[in-house]
Amino acid sequence: MLSSKNLLSNIGSPVLSRKLSLLKTQGFINGKWVTSQGGTKFEILNPSNQSVIASVPDMNAQDTKLAIDAATEAFKSFRNTTAKYRANLLRTWYNLMVEHSEELAKILTQENGKSLAESRAEIAYGNSFVEWFSEESRRINGEILPPTTDNRKLMILKQPAGVAALITPWNFPHAMITRKAGAAIAAGCTCVIKPSEDTPLTALALAQLAEEAGFPSGVINVITTNTNNSPSVGKTICDDERVRVVSFTGSTQVGKILYRQCADNVKKVCLELGGNAPFIVFESANVELAVSGAMVCKFRNTGQTCVSANRFYVHKNVFHEFTSKFLEHMQRDIVLGDGMKPGVTHGPLIKKSQIDMIDNLVRDAVNKGAKLHCGGKRLTNLGELFYSPTLLTGVNENMEIFKKEIFGPIAVIHEFENEDQVLENANNINVGLAGYFYSENLSQIFRVARKMEVGMIGVNEGLISCAEAAFGGVKESGLGREGSKHGVDDFLDIKYLCLGNIKY
């Protein structure tokens, strides 16, 4: 068994000075770069121009079991490492991420399509979780309880749960891994990471940096898989009793499938699922501030975020002012194009199914009487996956877009008259991840914040995520919390210890 001292000796070794490319084209299992068992690969396309960036292994259930084998064996030693060791390990990983931030951002832009400026911001954001959990690992404390009799000692121990499977999406391929892996490793768990088939290169780059940071073999494993193999890989993860935690970020539909599959062996499950965020502008709001917040909240990553403002509700007395200023900013501030080019602020949609979906939603709304203020069309002169920023008003419940999580650069603005009405509309949905509202009325701020049925609220602020805050939703938006001091909870087991018959 490896001791903390022996493991720690790897950190700061000469391997850190090597300058290796972070563009990896193999999976990472048990500290080795490997192909798939079947020998097949699939291509990763740049959504801006459909060019092939690289080909990676199309791993299947057999490869997944090998990754679980490696993580299970590594856990036997890793669970016994000290918090200080894990803190130093994470800190070394963080330092390497910072050192290689620009290369990480370029890989991310090429496979995801977002602008280089947005990718740099995501890298900094994702890195912050590793930094945070490097510090939080030393604050995972047990408890001493007051005994029921004078010859007992009662205590609570917190121990790593076991192998953790981390299934991450394409829209934030760096931050969604670091937010999960940082917490899991801080707790003493080992990881099997399954990134999206659209964006596996960022995950492999992170594995390369973990290898350079001195992570023991099997602590971090990355399996890459294409669409056809993803369901069987997910089921293998859920069915294997050695995997004790499944942490998933993605659609509510897929989250429910994984939740059911995990029930047979009662795994710990953390689900960060879909959102359909309301964005409310009350009569007392600072309209300029609300417009600025709406721009970043709606159009970050070209609208492809789970906490994106999706349903705008604007009070009738400021509706015209807000709508006209918002339209002005949309037309002036958004520059679409290849994210690697200077001056580009926003990139394409991630894939054809995504642009087809939003195009159909807009067409349906316009055909049924919605007012189109701008956009509403594909920009084929830029590429196959570019869609013009679009503003709609006059949308009603007969239109498909009315309650749909749009996941694209489409803003839908509704007019409202009173607080009770808008809260009823905002809460009348089966999900509740994030919500936003703008008001200068202090009583209203506390009243509305209490009544909104979401897990996170931005008050006079459109960008709310940070490592220090608890990220997660209510209703069908998921279970558990990521980030903050609560981020390690899903990766820990609580053990009660009763010492009896103590003689004083």
Where in the sequence numbering do the catalytic residues fall? 272, 306
The whole-angstrom distance between residue 406's C-alpha and the CA centroid of its chain comes to 17
At residue 47, what is the residue type?
P
> What DSSP string runs through 370-437?
-EEEE--SB-TTT-TT-B--EEEES--TTSGGGS----SSEEEEEEE--HHHHHHHHH-SSEESEEEE
Candidates 212, 251, 173; CA nearest to 95 is 212
Tell me if residue 504 falls in helix, strand or coil: coil
Candidates 186, 145, 191; CA nearest to 167 is 191
Residue 458: in which H helix or E strand, if any? Answer: strand 456-459
Question: What distance in Å separates the CA atoms of residue 95 and residue 113, rounded to the nearest whole number?
Answer: 26
Question: What distance in Å separates the CA atoms of residue 272 and residue 267, rounded to the nearest whole number?
Answer: 16
In residues, how long is the chain?
504
Contact at 8 Å (CB) between 162 and 245? yes
Identify the residue whose tokens are 């069915």: 239
Measured in degrees and rounded to the nearest 5, phi and psi for residue 41 equal: -135, 165
Residue 494 CB coordination number (10 Å) = 12
Contact at 8 Å (CB) between 391 and 373? yes
